[in-house]
Chain A
């Protein structure tokens, strides 16, 4: 093949809608472990291309999909004419399969802003059908450590983006809002897929989590009372429509997600939790971007016992209601936060790209939110009565799609006596921001 010259697809793309094409062969170069049936599922649609334009387009989709489901590290489609026929084409995929084994060490920052060091090892496409296994061991500066072993199996097929996964993990963490430590040992099964002609994202999770809460000496008795072992079995279902161009900081598009969590078939926890997320972003003149997010949560206990403190709704912190301590909004006992039965929060942002344009932004926001007590007779009234508001300006730094850092001057405008208020410069780091 080396003596031939290939051109970029853009050269003929959309110029050849009338050139009929017959795919005579699809060839892969560089296959060692990938199974034949997996490749067949991935490319069979290519044979249906009716003209050259479609073939070019589909070949591109196929090579991208091969990489995205984890079958290949790299895949390039080269389209060649077939030697013995006028309308015939041969598609050659030059592929590079994933390394047999990967391992690494990295230092990073967790969603709560703690620095950590983690060791990881993994294997992609173990059985030659895109299945992957990864393991992580993380140690944070504060002395917490955890492990995670997870396996994912994608469903292969033309433009199919769905998978099932299983993970086992143990984590130990300090919850400053509850002034407690919690150990979790969990087994989680998940399905991710699409609904309604792939316009909606759908995910289902089955959680089995054994949690051990240990109150510190500072914790209020209301927290201490709930210490010990509890078992949560829950089923989570989430449906979302997402047209955002970049989830971590969208410049346009919307996200609408509804999620339910039901616990109560087995285990100690027994509740239903509903979460609604809405986000929208739109470009304004002079490169400004206007964005808004809304999140509503409601929790209803189903058993006789009140909903465990670990299952309640929390709000506050640099990722949602900026200007207040992490998860500190709502009812408190001494210095411990007890969480709530409903929470509502909204944030309006104005961004303007600085330099480099896709990474650094000037940022101004107005945030509001409140949490209603788990015992509230009229949660909506309570949400209205205890509303908090904060505003701020700062810089937002986005690294690709994986990490976001905010440095803000925050100023709480409306708060309730006893709130932990953060006025001044604060850093927020993580992935999920409202």
Chain B
């Protein structure tokens, strides 16, 4: 399954061109633009921002985090987070990983090419499923929308925009989900999808330290981003957290990554 990134093909091509031209430049004055993580970011955004930060910390590349209320609009294709290096803008986890890779920094040198390809396909699937699950809960599950999503999304605006904009965003996300045949799913089906993802990664992780063994890769960064968010963020709907708790090796993994990269 190919990752269903929301960016249009043209933009991907543009960014690819920009990358091949600019990948040589130095890693200096690099900023990661994120929404206000505590008050604004929604779980899928929080997960992506955390995943990118984890990845960059794993590579030991220096960067500053800049929190802005309008990152969605600063980003050329609306995907967050946004990495800025000089005049080059790179958006989203996968493109940032690619960019860093083109600069010769990689976390996968201990893997064979086939293993890397497998890992990439695997994380694309995990990412796409988890993102859809998160979007469903945020925008489709009414209680979550009313109690959390609406307020956080509207928190950076004044009335009446704080009322209008969440409604417009909800409409656009729901139509996106409906295009992917996710909008009509029941909450139980969502639970089953989550169960499926968690079971797969739990089996894959087994008793390893990281997904591919002793060394971390971008797959771990991405998985950590989602898991940490789902464990720590309190939502009215506890189904996901409860399902996740059935896989103690995933909880342990999350604690381990947090300990290694965020508590030094």
Contacts and interface: CB of A to CB of B under 8 A. Distances in A.
A217 interface: yes
Contacts of A217: 14, 76
Given A221-B84, A221-B87, A225-B68, A210 B74 contact: no
Contact of A229 (B14, B74, B89, B157): B157
A interface residue count range (under 10 / 10 to 19 / 20 to 34 / 35 or more)? 10 to 19
Given A221-B84, A221-B87, A225-B68, A210 B161 contact: yes
Interface in B62-76: 68-70, 72-74, 76
A284 B157 CA distance: 57
Interface string B229-262: 0000000000000000000000000000000000
A227 B70 contact: yes
Nearest to A217: B76
A231 B76 contact: no
Interface in B140-173: 157-158, 161, 165
A228 B87 CA distance: 20
A229 B161 contact: yes
Given A221-B84, A221-B87, A224-B74, A267 B158 contact: yes
A213 B161 contact: no
A228 B72 contact: yes
A419 interface: no
A213 B73 CA distance: 8
Interface in B47-91: 68-70, 72-74, 76, 84, 87, 89
Given A266-B158, A268-B158, A214 B73 contact: yes
Contacts of B14: 217
Contacts of A334: 87
Interface string A188-224: 0000000000000000000000100111010001001
A228 B158 contact: no
B74 A231 contact: no
Given A221-B84, A221-B87, A227 B74 contact: yes
A416 B158 CA distance: 40
Nearest to B18: A217
Contacts of A267: 158
Contacts of A214: 73
A334 B87 CA distance: 10
Interface string A250-268: 0000000000000000111
Nearest to A213: B73
Contacts of B74: 215, 224-225, 227-228
Nearest to B72: A228
Nearest to A224: B74
Contacts of A225: 68, 74
Contact of B73 (A210, A227, A266, A268): A227
Contact of B161 (A224, A227, A231): A231
B84 to A, nearest CB: 7
Nearest to A227: B73
A228 B156 CA distance: 11
Nearest to A208: B160
18 contacts: A213-B73, A215-B76, A221-B87, A221-B89, A227-B70, A227-B74, A228-B70, A228-B72, A228-B73, A229-B73, A229-B157, A229-B161, A229-B165, A231-B157, A231-B161, A266-B158, A268-B158, A334-B87
The 9 closest A-B pairs by CB, nearest first: A228-B70, A228-B73, A227-B73, A231-B158, A224-B74, A231-B161, A267-B158, A229-B161, A227-B74
Interface of A: 210, 213-215, 217, 221, 224-229, 231, 266-268, 334
Given A227-B70, A229-B161, A267-B158, 18 more contacts: A210-B161, A213-B73, A215-B73, A215-B76, A217-B14, A217-B76, A221-B84, A221-B87, A225-B68, A228-B69, A228-B70, A228-B72, A228-B73, A228-B74, A229-B70, A229-B73, A268-B158, A334-B87
